[in-house]
Structure 1
């Protein structure tokens, strides 16, 4: 999806960028505002790239002068806006996904991580979540598209509680992770027909995965650099199936032993998950902590969960 840069924009319109800053503060991360800001940033990047290309020329031509260079710079600045508005280089889309909280995806482990230690899980199945017991929610439709964080939390809370009771980990930690991975359900991975994969935890479909799968672009950090990659992800028929598979994913991989030993402390769970290498994003734990501290989960969970 190309960034919505207005055709009336010109490179001298600094007020337009200032207006976007004001809107970003007012809207608090509105999708349209994020895309406009990202588009303007991409235009500035293209302008810098064009300038570098011209600076790398062998020398002045016969018709070059201060006046021609001035008009050439004006043209480069304007054409950068035109290029960005026509789809650009793809940078704006990457920026939007990063700014709205999209997280990098977990790596499917080939074996135990070097730092994995022997576990003393104990009677994990008997440990229940301290969160309030909700009523059984209605069946989630295949085209489920939650229209708010509250609707998202209410739609998956009971599934998260089932995993919580099975593994002895906090319900709110699971919901926070699902919110981070999917942008509160607004950016669920879908197949070419638009069907929801219900992949709430960004789990890739490795060679051992025998179930359904769907391909999409994702952001990964390699050697500290964010890169855009195309990868296959697991797909499920329902949220219940997705949460059950995530519970198996954590329980069967030795690298997550420490994660499952954090008890009912959601923040420690988030930190341990990041240390275990669940995602390539170095800020993964911090993002989870911000969601846990935001108050959104407590507000949504305290209401009617039907």
Structure 2
């Protein structure tokens, strides 16, 4: 298009977007087309965000800077896709904006039945339904620290106690928990929550609560999505205590415990023993520990 309305090809071009709004208010056909593309771009962006959230980015994806540039990249990709072939949604949006009848062919392209119009009548208001509140025993345990700094500070007292039992340092445990949970934001949840800080799975010997969720595993160095059962706890303290017992009672981790005083060797031996399938598991944890942000908070806690 030669019109100025097509200027909004970069998501930061606010002047172009403003012209789209003005043209849409005047019911310009060209503006409707461009606005429809913007709607489709927003939809694609939501899909991209959901795909990113479904994956575990680990240490490399945990910084605010990385997330900021990923969001910029996703927004631009969404616009580029919408401005080319797109997903076919722009046509639907354009017809809705112009109150035009929608053809059966366009509906079939999206796998939907054809309709004469895309206008939706309001649904009748249903009578309020009394929903019983879940019993206290069924409530989901929650813990969601506001920032990585809060994550470290809140786990520090318990991490010190458990680290002493294992003969290692509390920062190793906290960095491992940070990687496993995305700083407390991606613990295995299921329907009940888990408070599982270390990604310990519920094997046949586990008699406690568990949750079944999708997880990212590495098979022959290739990341794949699988479903697995994870142990569930009532608190982060229980999770910390069970982590210590899990290592101490499992013969495969005895070599790691022998080198617990050396964080790097401890993490290396954990990976060698098969604690995680990620081939870069130990390296990612060490990367978290080496970051200035992490070390700064830890040094404050040690000094205090």
TM over 0.5: yes
Give the structure with the higher percent helix.
2
Question: Once structures 1 and 2 are overlaid, which stretch shifts more, 172-181 or 215-224?
Answer: 215-224
Instruction: Report matched runs for 1:108-187 at 5 Å.
Output: 142-187=141-186
Instruction: Give the number of equivalent residue pairs.
Output: 200
Instruction: Report matched runs for 1:279-294 at 5 Å.
Output: 279-294=276-291
Instruction: Report matched runs for 1:35-50 at 5 Å.
Output: 37=73
Q: Which residue of the partner structure matches residue 55 of structure 1?
A: none
Q: Which residue of the partner structure matches residue 119 of structure 1?
A: none
Q: For residue 227 of structure 1, report the CA deviation from its aligned partner.
A: 0.5
Question: SS of the counterpart of 2:289?
Answer: helix
Q: Which residue of the partner structure matches residue 269 of structure 1?
A: 266
2:198 pairs with one of 193, 197, 201: 201
- Unaligned segments of structure 1, at least 5 residues: 11-23, 48-73, 84-140
Q: 1 or 2 for the larger relative contact order (CA 8 Å, sep ≥6)?
A: 1
In 1, are the aligned partners of 2:40 and 2:89 still within 8 Å (CA)? no
In 2, are the aligned partners of 1:173 and 1:269 still within 8 Å (CA)? no
CA distance in 1, matches of 2:168, 2:38: 48
Does residue 210 of the first structure (1) align with residue 177 of the second (2)? no
Structure 1 residues 109-168: Cα deviation after superposition (integer angstroms, max 9, x where no partner): xxxxxxxxxxxxxxxxxxxxxxxxxxxxxxxx9422101111001111122111111111
CA distance in 1, matches of 2:77, 2:270: 33
CA distance in 1, matches of 2:176, 2:79: 33
CA distance in 1, matches of 2:286, 2:64: 22
CA distance in 1, matches of 2:168, 2:146: 27
Question: SS of the counterpart of 2:39?
Answer: coil
Q: Which residue of the partner structure matches residue 246 of structure 2?
A: 249
Larger CA Rg, structure 1 vs 2 = 2
Q: Which residue of the partner structure matches residue 295 of structure 2?
A: 298
CA distance in 1, matches of 2:169, 2:213: 30
CA distance in 1, matches of 2:266, 2:77: 36
CA, structure 1 residues 152+273, in 2 after alignment: closer, same or farther (shift >3 Å)?
A: same
- Unaligned segments of structure 2, at least 5 residues: 1-36, 43-60, 91-139
In 1, are the aligned partners of 2:142 and 2:195 still within 8 Å (CA)? no
Question: SS of the counterpart of 1:303?
Answer: helix
